[in-house]
Structure 1
């Protein structure tokens, strides 16, 4: 089974996965990949463009391989803001989409305390995109659809 976990930065997507994934599952998380590919002492949530470039390539390679194994294991993929193209692919793969959103004020507080300031822009973009969805199409927080 493929679980696509989405939500704004600092919403708790990784925490949700930690509560649900088993040690035998595959977890594809750009933050974890970036951390694994950077040197000692690098920030846990590194947003350096060159680090992200390498991490994105590794993430897409991991996704391609993991998607071929969905009949053998569960895959948890963090995708903050999947495009329509990605959502269509996830639908073809019969993914469960999980939206993790504790609310905008909590997210902004967490970003202020734990993340790089530019993550505020990403969170704002995520919430603005949600506000543009028709009311009936807006998934509820921490629900699967």
Structure 2
């Protein structure tokens, strides 16, 4: 089964996966990939552009390979803002699309506390485009912050 986890930055997408995935599942999360590909002490968020570029290429390769094995394992894919084309592809693959959104005020507070200010723009774009996405599967906060 393919699970596509979407939501604004700092919404709790990774926490949702931590609560649902097992050690046997595949988790494709750009932040986790970037941390795995960078040296000791690298930040968990706010990665440098070159590190992000390398991680993004690894993410695409992981997605391509994982989709070939959906009959044998579950895949959890974080996709913050999937395009209409991506959503159509996920629906063809019979994916479960999960929207994690604790609310704009909580997201903006988390971004202010933990993330780069540029993520505020990403979150604002996500909320502006939200009307095109399925309704949230998790209207409460993901964990105590």
Q: Does the residue aligned with 1:4 lie in a helix, a strand or coil?
A: strand
**1:70 deviation in Å?**
0.1
Counterpart in the other structure of 2:100:
100
Q: Which runs of 5 or more residues in structure 2 are unaligned?
A: 139-145
**TM-score where L is the length of structure 2:** 0.91
**1:39 deviation in Å?**
1.4
2: CA distance, partners of 1:56 / 1:84: 20
Taking the TM superposition and a 5 Å limit, the aligned residue runs for 1:1-145 are 1-130=1-130, 133=131, 138-142=133-137
Q: Does the residue aligned with 1:64 lie in a helix, a strand or coil?
A: helix
**1:42 deviation in Å?**
1.6
**TM-score where L is the length of structure 1:** 0.91
- TM-superposition CA deviations, 1:23-75 (whole Å, max 9, x none): 10000000000111111122111331111110110000000000000000000
Answer whether contact 2:31 2:45 (CA < 8 A) is retained.
yes
2: CA distance, partners of 1:142 / 1:120: 22
Q: Which runs of 5 or more residues in structure 1 are unaligned?
A: none
User: Once superposed, what is the RMSD of the aligned Cα atoms?
Assistant: 1.2
2: CA distance, partners of 1:138 / 1:62: 24
Runs (4 or more) in structure 1 with deviation over 6 Å come to none
